[in-house]
Structure 1
Amino acid sequence: MAADRVAPAERGATTIADRVVAKIATQAAREALGRRPEGASPPHAMVVVHHDTARVRVSLELDYPGDIGRQCGAVRRQVTQRVRTLAGMEVPEVAVQVERLHSVHSRHSAQGRIR
């Protein structure tokens, strides 16, 4: 009788919804970027999960001028690491889409204007 029992680790399945992985990815993008540019929308992630693999697209806004490539690379690394750690999924693709650049110069010049 005991030989017919299935080990607890081999029963059932765990499914993590796309929206849960997207929330993890969004938080990871925030962590990677640190502060958000003044007036910028927070990062947003869309995820497609298939078995134990997540494909992630992160949309964000950045300060300009700045090292856009470095910031996008930091987001990719952080999202990959956090999704792997918290959801146990492989992340073969993190597409980072920069929606808008917020110019530091135009913000400072606009603050100095008086009507």
Structure 2
Amino acid sequence: MEELTRTEERIMQTLWQLDLAFVKDIIEHIDEEPKPPYNTISSVVRILEKKGYVGYKAYGKTYQYFPIISKADYAKQTFKKVLNNYFDNSATSLMSFLVQEEQISEEELEKLRKIIG
């Protein structure tokens, strides 16, 4: 799975929320002002289609886009890369980092303890 740029990932987040969308729908759901130009978003969506993340249905010259890669699959791949590249594939190193950086609360730690058994 090819890595996404920040812009591509932002567009994918929108497509995962909408499930089916025309470019104008994607633009409407982007929370930034001024809204990005139509041609910019259209170009990014076409790049995502070439990378295999997005499919489309053609209605004449208009295209309705949908995600091919699920958010869960993308998250799994991204997490594996982070775990491998930054934590030497060690869940212990990751948890230690989260605890040290106070990114995980006592309540969350307790829940994890129960899951682990």
TM-score if structure 1 supplies the norm length? 0.24
Between structures 1 and 2, the one with greater helix share: 2
Between structures 1 and 2, the one with greater strand share: 1
Work out which structure has the larger RCO, using CA pairs closer than 8 Å and 6 or more positions apart in sequence: 1
